[in-house]
Amino acid sequence: MAKILIIGAGFAGHTTALYLGSKIGRKHEVTVVSNRDVFSYLPSWVWVGVGHMKPEKTVFKLKPVYDRKNVKFVHAAVKEIHPDAGDQYVLADEVATGKETRLDYDYMVIAPGPLLNFAGTPGLGPENGFTHSICSYPHAIKTRDAYLALCERMKKGEKVKIVIGTGHPMATCQGAAFEYIVNVHKDLVKKGLRDKADILWLSNEPELGDFGVNGVQIKRNGVVQKSDEFIKSVFNDHGIRYQIRAGVTKVEEGKIYWQDYEGEEHVSEFDFAMLIPQFKGQPFKYIGKDGSDVSSKLVNPAGFVLVDAKYGLPYPELANTPEAWPAKYQNPNYPNIFAAGIAFAPPGPISKPFTNKNNVAIAPAPPRTGMVSGEIGRIVALNVIDAVNGREPSHSERMSEMVAACIASMGDNLWDGSAVTIVMRPVVPDRKKYPNEYGRDLFVSHLEMGLSGAWMKFLLHHTFMWKFKARPGWTLIPE
Amino acid sequence: MQQEFSKAEKFWMNFKLYQLWRFIVLNIKVYTVAMMSKGK
C-alpha cells in the first residue's frame, strides 16, 4: 500500500485529492494536509467583497467530503519537508492543538496555494498596511466591511477615491482585480453613488486586458479583436480611469507610490484600495537526510516547486519555446514529488516583461489559478496513479497546450448583470502550432460580454460547489 | 480602434432572448473546449 500525501486543499490540491481518493483511495492511503479545514470557492469572493454574497456560501467543510472519497484529512500547517529516499516525511503543526505531527509518504503532491507576499510592498495589505485584498476568506470579509463603510461615507455626500489593481510590480491575478473593479462600479451605480467615486485601475500589465497571459485575441467576422481594445471600451463606458505599466513600490495611508516604464515616480491618492499582492511559494523548510538544506533541489528562490520545465531561457527564446512549459509537473530531483496549481515554478513570464531604469521589473507573473489549477491537479493525480502502479507518468498537458475558460463577472444581477466570457487556447501562446502573431487558436479563442455571462457565472458557482463537494456526476464537470 | 461600445452592441448585450441564445451557445462552447483536456 502506497502512502500519498497532498499538501493543500485549494483548486489544485482538492482536485488531486478527489481523483486519487475515487480511483485508488480504497487500496492506498491518500492523505490531505491543510492549514484550512474548508474548501474555498475563490472566484465568488469578488461578490463577497461588495456584500453581494454571504461569505459562508463560498466555503464548505472538507472532512465530510474526504470521508466519502476515501481520503484522510489532517488539519495542520506544514513546516518541514524531508524528501530524501528512505525516510520521506513531512512535519506539520496541528491547528487545533499546536502538536507536531509526522506524515510519512511515498508520493507527494505540493499544492498549498500562494503565500500572499504583502511584505513585498511596504504598506500593502489589510493586516500591516493600508490596502485591502480579496485573496483570502478573512480578507474578502474585511474588504466588504471597509467597502460598505466607504459607501456610508458617500451616502453622506463625501467624494472618495477608489484604486483597484495590482500592489506589486510582479503581481498576478489581474482578472480577479478586474472583476472586483467592475463589480464595485456596478454596485455604486445601483446605490446611486457612482458620481461620488473616482475609480482608478492601477495595474502592472503592459497593455489593458493583458491579464498576465499576453492578452486575449479572437477572430470575429474575419477581423482580429484584442482584449486591450475590449477592456478599454469597458472602462470608457463605465467611466473608470486606468493606469497600466505601473509597479507599486510602497503604500502609505491614503497614498500609493508607483513607478512607470520610464522610471518616473508617481503617487495615487485613495480612500479605499484593493490591490493584489505578489504571490510567492509557501516558506516550507526542505531538509535532507543529513540535516542539510536541500531547497535548491526542490524550489526556486521564490519558493515555487521546480518541475519538468526548461528554466533559464531569456524571454524572447521562451516566448518561442512552448515545450519549455512543464508537462507532467514532476520534480526532476525527487520524481515522487509533484506540484500543482500556483505552487509549480513557471519557466518565466507569459507577458512581455519590462525593467525600468531604476531596475524595477514591471511584469505580471503567469496566472496558474482557477481552471488551470484544476486541470493540473487532475493531470498530477493521474500521473501519481501511474507511478503508484509502477508505470512512468504518462499524462501531460502543458499550459502551452491547455484550454482555459474564464467568466469575469461585471455585475452579479441575473436581470441586468453582465460578464465577459473568455476562452483561450492555448493559455501560453504557441507560435509554432498557431503561426499567427499571437500564437493562439483564433477560432476557438472567444471573448464576449453580455447578460448571458452573468448567468454563466451564477451557474459556475453552483456547478463547481457541486463538483468540489464530489456530489453525483462530479467527474462529468470539467475542471 | 474600438473605444466605446456602440448603442447596438449595448442593446444586444442586454436583450434577454438573444442572451438566452448566447447562454446556450457559450455553455456548449465552454463545455466542449473544457472537455478537450479531459482525455489527456
Indicate yes or no: CB of A456 within 8 angstroms of CB of B34: no
- Cβ under 8 Å to A: B residues 3-22: 3-5, 12-14, 16, 19-20, 22
CA distance B28 to chain A (A): 11
pTM, two decimal places: 0.95
Amino acid making up residue A410:
M
Shortest CA distance from A383: residue in chain B: B40
pLDDT in tens, chain A (479 residues): 999 999 999 999 999 999 999 999 999 999 999 999 999 999 999 999 999 999 999 999 999 999 999 999 999 999 999 999 989 999 999 999 999 999 999 999 999 999 999 999 999 999 999 999 999 999 999 999 999 999 999 999 999 999 999 999 999 999 999 999 999 999 999 999 999 999 999 999 999 999 999 999 998 888 888 999 999 999 999 999 999 999 999 999 999 999 999 999 999 999 999 999 999 999 999 999 999 999 999 999 999 999 999 999 999 999 999 999 999 999 999 999 999 999 999 999 999 999 999 999 999 999 998 899 999 999 999 999 999 999 999 999 999 999 999 999 998 899 999 999 999 999 999 999 999 999 999 999 999 999 999 999 999 999 999 999 999 999 999 88
Amino acid making up residue A93:
D
- pLDDT at residue B38, rounded to an integer: 67
| DSSP characters over A163-206 | EEEESSTT---HHHHHHHHHHHHHHHHHHT-GGGEEEEEE---S
- Cβ neighbours of residue B21 closer than 8 Å, sequence gap 6 or more: none
Indicate yes or no: CB of A450 within 8 angstroms of CB of B27: no
ipTM of the complex: 0.93
Indicate yes or no: CB of B22 within 8 angstroms of CB of A450: yes
- pLDDT at residue A219, rounded to an integer: 87
Indicate yes or no: CB of B5 within 8 angstroms of CB of A446: no
CA distance A12 to chain B (A): 15
Q: How many CB pairs under 8 A join A and B?
A: 74
Residue A368 · residue A332 · CB < 8 Å: no
- pLDDT at residue B1, rounded to an integer: 47
CA A224 – CA A393 distance, rounded (Å): 39
Shortest CA distance from B33: residue in chain A: A403
CA A52 – CA A48 distance, rounded (Å): 6
- pLDDT at residue A154, rounded to an integer: 98
Indicate yes or no: CB of A455 within 8 angstroms of CB of B23: yes
Taking the Cβ of residue B30 and every Cβ of chain A, the question of whether any pair is shorter than 8 Å is answered with yes
Taking the Cβ of residue A442 and every Cβ of chain B, the question of whether any pair is shorter than 8 Å is answered with no
CA-based angle A136:A141:A142, to the nearest 5?
A: 95
Indicate yes or no: CB of B2 within 8 angstroms of CB of A232: yes
- Cβ under 8 Å to B: A residues 28-47: none
Of B4, B23, B35, the CB nearest to A233: B4
Shortest CA distance from A405: residue in chain B: B30
pLDDT in tens, chain B (40 residues): 457 888 999 999 999 999 999 999 999 998 888 887 666 6
Place of cell 497546450: A401
Residue A400 · residue A430 · CB < 8 Å: yes
CA distance B4 to chain A (A): 4
Taking the Cβ of residue B39 and every Cβ of chain A, the question of whether any pair is shorter than 8 Å is answered with no
Indicate yes or no: CB of B34 within 8 angstroms of CB of A395: no
Shortest CA distance from B11: residue in chain A: A450
Shortest CA distance from A454: residue in chain B: B23
Taking the Cβ of residue A433 and every Cβ of chain B, the question of whether any pair is shorter than 8 Å is answered with no
Taking the Cβ of residue B28 and every Cβ of chain A, the question of whether any pair is shorter than 8 Å is answered with no
Indicate yes or no: CB of B37 within 8 angstroms of CB of A479: yes
Shortest CA distance from B39: residue in chain A: A395
Sign of CA dihedral B24, B27, B28, B30: positive
Q: Which residues of A touch B5 (CB under 8 A)?
A: 233, 237
Shortest CA distance from B12: residue in chain A: A450
Indicate yes or no: CB of A450 within 8 angstroms of CB of B33: no
Indicate yes or no: CB of B22 within 8 angstroms of CB of A448: yes
CA A368 – CA A370 distance, rounded (Å): 7
Residue A322 · residue A400 · CB < 8 Å: yes
Q: Which residues of B touch A459 (CB under 8 A)?
A: 27
| DSSP characters over A262-286 | T--EEEEE-SEEEEEPEEE----EE
- pLDDT at residue B2, rounded to an integer: 56
DSSP letter (8 states) at residue A404: E
Indicate yes or no: CB of B13 within 8 angstroms of CB of A405: no
